[in-house]
Structures are given as structure tokens and as C-alpha cells.
């Protein structure tokens, strides 16, 4: 018997999964020491958001990412 999540598995009610999610991973550039690249980071964020919206419009999306947003050393 297949277990939940295995390819070909069927839910108890007999329904098959409707969609397989798209999985993406990426590196997000940080704004740099003293936020010297903050303007670049804002442009990158806007472009990345547009890209993700396009992906998510087609199928469920799972995103694995380090957002590089640690403000203080304690955030690490």
C-alpha cells in the first residue's frame, strides 16, 4: 500500500491529488553592509515577486529560500 505523499497514492476518500506543487529554491542578495545595495535589493525584490506570481498562477508553489534580511547579528 502506498503511503501519503508517495507517487500514485490516493486519499482515503479515493481522490487523487489535483496538482503537484512547483518547488523552487534560490539565493536572495542582501543589501550589504550599511545598506549600500538597498536600492538594488528593492528592484530585485520587485522582479522576484513578479516571477513568483507567474509561477504560482499555474500551480501551487513551494519556495525554499534564505531571504537575507538579518538586521542585527542576533538575528542570525
Distance CA 8, CA 39 (A): 47
Active site (annotated) includes residue 27 = yes
Residue 66 assigned ligand-binding role:
yes
13, 45, 66, 75: which one is catalytic? 66
Q: Are 52 and 63 in contact (CB under 8 A)?
A: yes
Active site (annotated) includes residue 45 = no
27, 40, 45, 75: which one is catalytic? 27
Give the 3-state secondary structure of residue 21: coil
In this structure, what DSSP letter does residue 17 have?
A: P
Reduced DSSP (H G I as helix, E B as strand, rest coil) percent helix, strand, coil of the chain, to 5:
35, 15, 50
Residues of each annotated binding site for Mg(2+): 66
* Residues that are catalytic: 27, 66
Cite the annotated binding site by residue number. 66
Amino acid at each position: 500500500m502506498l503511503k501519503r505523499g508517495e507517487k500514485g497514492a490516493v486519499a482515503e476518500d479515493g481522490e487523487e491529488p489535483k496538482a503537484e506543487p512547483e518547488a523552487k529554491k534560490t539565493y536572495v542578495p542582501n543589501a550589504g553592509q550599511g545598506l549600500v545595495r538597498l536600492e538594488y535589493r528593492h528592484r530585485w525584490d520587485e522582479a522576484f515577486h513578479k516571477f513568483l506570481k507567474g509561477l504560482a498562477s499555474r500551480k501551487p508553489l513551494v519556495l525554499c529560500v534564505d531571504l537575507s534580511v538579518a538586521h542585527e547579528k542576533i538575528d542570525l
